Each structure stands twice: as C-alpha cells, then as structure tokens.
Chain A
Amino acid sequence: MNATGVRTNTPTVDRELIDMMEAVFAGYRSSHDSGPADARIDCDRTLWHRLDELGLVRLTGSEQSGGSGASWRESTELVTAAVRHGVRLPLAEHDLLACWLLEAVGQDVDDAVRTIHVVSRPGRPQALTPWAGSADRIVTVWRSDDGYRVADVDATEITIAPGHNLIGEPRDTISAEVSGWSGHPVEPELVAELKRKAALVRAIQVCAALDCAIAASVEHVMSRSQFGRPLAKFQAIQNLVADAAAEAAVARSATEAALHNALETGWLADHLDFQIAVARSCAGHAASVVTRNAHQVHGAIGTTREHRLHEWTRAALAWRSEYGSVRFWDRKVAAAAAEAGSASLWALITGTD
C-alpha cells in the first residue's frame, strides 16, 4: 500500500474488560427487574459498590486520584453495556462529567457518588439535573461576576425537587443559592468542554439503545411466525428493519467520528462543536425511525411492560432530548452552515479548511 493509504488504527478496548462489564450487568438483571413503570429510579448503592470494587465507577479518573486511568473508549463500552442490560446508574454523570471536572480544577475526589449541575443564567429556565436526588455530592458550576466557578456541594445543603424522565431516571430541579458560595475558578474552556462531553454522552447512549432495539427486532422477526412463515421472510418486515438499521448505523458513524476527534484533539478542536451537533441530530432523528419501526415489527407485544423493547426505545427517546432537544441541535447545525455560507459548507462538513 502507498504511504498515503496508511491510516491510524483506532485503538480497541480489551475484550476481557468488555466481557467483565457485560457479566456484571447481566448478573444484576438476572435478579432485578426493571421495576414499576411510574416510579422514579434510585441509584442502587449495592451495585454501585460492586462496580466500584471492580474499578468501573471512576474508569477514566487518573490513578493518582483513585481512578482507573482508562479512556472514553472504555467508558463508552461501560455505558453501552449498562444500556444493553437496561441498568440505570449515573455512571457517565459521575465519572465523565462531575469527577472529571473536579480533577481538572485540581480538587480532590473521594468515594462519594456525584453528579453535575450547571446553574442557568439569571432569567433562563433551569435545566433539569440528572440524578441529583440520588447523589451524595453535586458538582455545581455557576457564573459569578469574575467568571465561572465550581463547588463540590453536599447534596443535603441544596433544595432538590425530584422529577424523572421517561424511563424513571432522576431528573431533578435544583434551587441553589450560589451567592454565598466561594468555589474554585473554572476556565470558560473547561465549561465548554463539559457541555461537549455531556452532549456526546447522550449521543453514545442513544446509539447503544438503538442498536439494542434493532437486535431485539431481528431476534423477534426471526422467531415469530405468522401466515405460516417467520416474519423475517416478509419483504415489508425486512424493509422496516433495514431502514431502522441504516439510520442507526449512520448515527453511530457520526457519533464515533465526533468521539475520535474529541480524543485525538483533547476535546479542543474547533470543529468538535459542529461534529457533536451533527451526531446529536443524526442520533435524534434515527431514534424516531428506529422506535417506530422496531415497535411496528414487534406488534402489540412490544408495547407491554413485560417485553423489554421499551427499555431501549423509551430510553433512546428520553436521552435524545437531554442536554439539548433534537430541534436545538438541528438549529446548531443550521446556524453553523449559515455562518459558513455556500462556499465553505463543504469545508465545514469535512473539517478541513
């Protein structure tokens, strides 16, 4: 091969590590069901401690700070395994967002379960905070007169109004009176990085859920027979599954491309905001098609609590609307395109000037 054809191989994650993650979540689900539909889920501390013992709850934290020193690639596998087994925990919020930020500003990190909260600007509606009511500490970011500040706040010192998203994950309203807090300064670049990471986490979760919904659909249409043959043999059924799978595949390409670029540039590339918006748009629209088609091929059984399809379809719908709605991300992409203009639209898409 010519030298120009050589491409850097994307690092892959150790198979044994992935198998271990799979085994933990599979074992957990063999003794725990998904719970009642209308209830707010809590963080299962027993499972959390088990994951902690295995070095999985601070997977990407530095080893000096008590983390496992792994990367987002390993973390993506952890989050994906949790999604596959329908296990809801604040793994991403704790490790990838809250503890990462504390470490980045030079603060100590202990064994407490953490989540992240960014205080909205005055007059703007307060965004919901994931897992606030289940966390020990809430890493809170706010804007003071002299720039951004962050504090690692004891959850008992904050007023938390509980709420939850479509799949019962805590999405709480926080009333934080930050005027009395001192906190530590945070560079605006770190706050921008935090927002990128939060947005991309949800794209990764949506992609994982969509793949599971499609795998479940494949399994169902292969095993269920009607009119004397498996559903899979009907062209109309094949088309529904094929369209869903194609949508999910493109969403995954866009999400992986954004993640590669983030990791290769230390989350600093100018192009990253656009790539993440693209990933969120593709994943968000894919969720519509996959949810519709997966349920259509499952028939009425897929609409029941008993069947597991909803663990992936409802999750995808919940996550695609967090840290920005699909409309929000579509507008981000449109605004970037309008700013680039006709002559530079293609350069925007390829990320090369």
Chain B
Amino acid sequence: MTTALRRLVPPASSANPVADVLRTQVREFLAEQLAAGAFTPSVDAWLSGWDENFTRSLARQGWLGMTVPECYGGHGRSFHDRFVVTEELLAAGAPVAAHWIADRQIVPSLLKYGTEEQKHEFLPRIVRGECFFGIGMSEPDSGSDLASVRTRAVRVDGGWAVTGTKVWTSGAHHAHAFIVLARTAPMDSAHRHAGLSQFIVDLAAEGVDVRPIISMNGGHHFNEVILDEVFVPDSMVFGEIGQGWTQVTSELSFERSGPERFLSTFPLLAAALEQIAPQGVSHDIEMGRLVARIAGLHHTSTAVADALQRGEAADVSAAVVKVLGTTVEGDIADYADLRTGDESEVESSWADLVSHAVDQRPGFTLRGGTNEVLRGVIARGLGLR
C-alpha cells in the first residue's frame, strides 16, 4: 500500500458555454483580420510579432487588459476570459508582442501591488493599447538565480537612484516603461531573498540606455538596458521596498502557465497538415502524438487558469505546463524540420515558418524560468526538497 499522490494539477474543468461564445467571437475576428491581410500567421508571435496597429484593433474589441476593473478603464472580465482570448490569438499566430508583457504580467501585478496613482496612470492606457511594458529581471550575471541581481537602488531626495544592467528585456526599444528588480539593501547570504525591491522605470528617462541584443537569426527582440543613476520618484516604487522577491515570485504562475508555453509553434503544426505529404499525415503517428499532447496541455492549462481565477496557488501546476509545453513546442519545430528538404520546391512561407521555429526553439525551454529550474519547482511540490 502506498500513500495517494498529491495532485500536482487541479481537476480538469467542466464545459464553459459562456467562454465558448467568446472563443467564437475572437475566432471570427481573426478570420476577418486574416482575410484583410492584417497579419501573416507566424511562429512565436508573442515574442517577435510587434504590431501596434493590431494591438489597437484588439483594444477596440475590448480584448486588452480584460481583467482590469471598469474604474480603471478596463472591462472587468475574468481571468478565464483573458485565457480564452490569448489562446485564440496564439493558435492563430497573431502578432501580439507589443502588448504581451503589459497585458499578461503588468496588469495583474499592478492590480495586486500598484498604488491608486499607478493604476490610474497605466491601466487605462494599457487597456487602450497605448502603453507597452518590458521586464527588468535578468542581468548579465543573474539568469536563473534572480536573487543574485546586482542592480542597486540608492535613496535620494524624493526617490531612488537606480544603477545596473538588465538583459533580455523584450521590446525595450519600443516600450514605454519596464519593471526593474533591484537591490535596496546589501545581500545577506543568510537571507538571499531579502532586500530586493521593484521600480517602474520610464524607458525614456535620463540615464537609460537601450542597446539591442541581436538574435542568431538577425531578429531584434531582446535588449540590454543600462541604468546609470536613473532617478525613480517615490511614486514609482512598485509594491513595498524590501518585498521584491515575494512580489516577483507570486506573479510567476501567470507567466508560466499561459498558452504561450505550449502554442508558440502551433501555427507550424497546423500548416504541417497541408505541407507535409497530405495523404501521409493521417497515418503519421508522430503528428497524432503532437496534436494529442497540445490538446492535453490545453486542458491542463485551462485548469491552471481556473485555479488562478479562484486565487489558488498554482506555481507547481504552472511549472508542469511550462516543462511539457515548451518541450512539445520544440518537438513541433523538429517534426517540421525533419520532414522538410526532399521537395525540390518548398513554398517560401513554409520554409520561413520552419526556419523561424528552428531558430526560436532553443529559447522555448529557457525563457520564463529554465525547465531545469522548473523541474526543481515540481520536485518541491512533490515534497522532494
């Protein structure tokens, strides 16, 4: 007799007819946009598809900042509704990078930790698709080990002077602001997570230098942001001084369980149905495995979204989605690549999708917490550490 296993993932959700209506609305909108040539479906479009026009057209539909209460200019919708909309956008390969960070991470963070002034300052503009954000967590010497950040914030008259270097800040060359994790007290090796704080930093402020980090395929999404005694007024302290670690980690479930953790290459999988020997696909067991896995992750991710809606902790279940989801994203890139090359003429749109997917693939299992770190999170959830 063995003890029963503690559930890692909440129970699968029941049917949700209201959400199905919303799903259909988004799908119809996307079909119209596609027909009008507003976008070309692409792989990893939540990182690389920066299109402010498309973002504003989503805002007009009421699909940005959906969970923002009406008093801050939002729509007062549920987290589950937002989940449905983002799933549809990603499955279609729509260009959503411009608002992605603001909509996914900054909205729930602001709602939880922001001051009234900050909420009124940023939320209405995020909802209208007019304010874009970046994230300033990683540093040249701090990747997975975030507590080791060296960016410092020093108390000055009326605020803080922030100095340090942030890396991998997606979209910093377009965005208006980013949230910076900085040390406000010296590192105490016995309490590594203490003394960290968050600040909202205006990317146009004096002392901010945004330098491109060009990806291996020539793409420009990432940046290095160098902060040289950048003045941040007290009004832009995010949350509480000294609570940075708690704030950062409490929001990670939103970042790790979303559909962008298993749908980054979905447009490629869909296109493969028509590109790879159409008569052979219906017998291709690897295609079956991949589609089944995406479908399974859709159910898991939905269950996590519902847990987040109920305010439950979801760090472990989010890690499950991200470990398996980002792995299958890469498997899809490989599946397509392994089956391309024999035809003398390859459609250029297909070749572009495949090469983009192959180039983006290494990032899938790194960004937002490496899979190695996330396996540690799962192991902790199982009581192993």
Contacts and interface: CB of A to CB of B under 8 A. Distances in A.
B81 to A, nearest CB: 6
Interface centre among A4, A256, A343, by most B CB within 10 Å? A4
B2 A219 contact: yes
A78 B270 CA distance: 40
A133 B315 CA distance: 49
Interface stretch (B169-177, B202-210, B289-297): B289-297
A128 interface: no
Given A246-B320, A249-B9, A4 B303 contact: no
Given A246-B323, A264-B15, A239 B269 contact: no
Given A245-B378, A345-B270, A330 B1 contact: no
Is the contact region of chain B dominated by helix, strand, or loop, or is it mixed? helix
B1 A29 contact: yes
Contact of B285 (A85, A330, A350): A330
Interface string B294-307: 11111110010010
Contacts of B340: none
A34 to B, nearest CB: 12
A5 B309 contact: yes
A267 B383 CA distance: 38
Interface in B244-275: 266, 269-271, 273-274
A334 B269 CA distance: 12
A4 B9 contact: no
B298 A349 contact: yes
Interface residues of B, number: 74
A342 B270 contact: yes
B294 to A, nearest CB: 6
Nearest to B281: A338
Interface stretch (B72-80, B125-133, B222-230): B72-80
A334 B1 contact: no
A216 interface: yes
Is the contact region of chain A dominated by helix, strand, or loop, or is it mixed? helix
Interface in A168-213: 211-212
B32 interface: no
B320 A281 contact: no
B8 A245 contact: yes
Contacts of A84: 1-2, 4
Interface string B370-385: 0010011011001111
B14 A281 contact: no
Nearest to B75: A2
B142 interface: no
A131 B351 CA distance: 53
A24 interface: no
A54 interface: no
A333 B288 contact: yes
A296 interface: no
Nearest to B377: A242
A341 interface: yes
A235 B15 CA distance: 39
A246 B292 contact: no
Contact of B81 (A4, A246, A340): A4
Nearest to A264: B15
Interface of A: 1-5, 7-10, 26, 29, 84-85, 211-212, 214-216, 218-219, 221-222, 232-233, 235, 237-239, 241-243, 245-247, 249-254, 256-257, 260-261, 264, 274-275, 277-279, 281-282, 285, 308, 327, 329-343, 345-350, 352-353
Given A249-B7, A257-B13, A260-B15, 12 more contacts: A7-B306, A222-B384, A243-B375, A245-B382, A249-B320, A250-B299, A330-B292, A334-B287, A337-B282, A345-B291, A350-B23, A352-B23
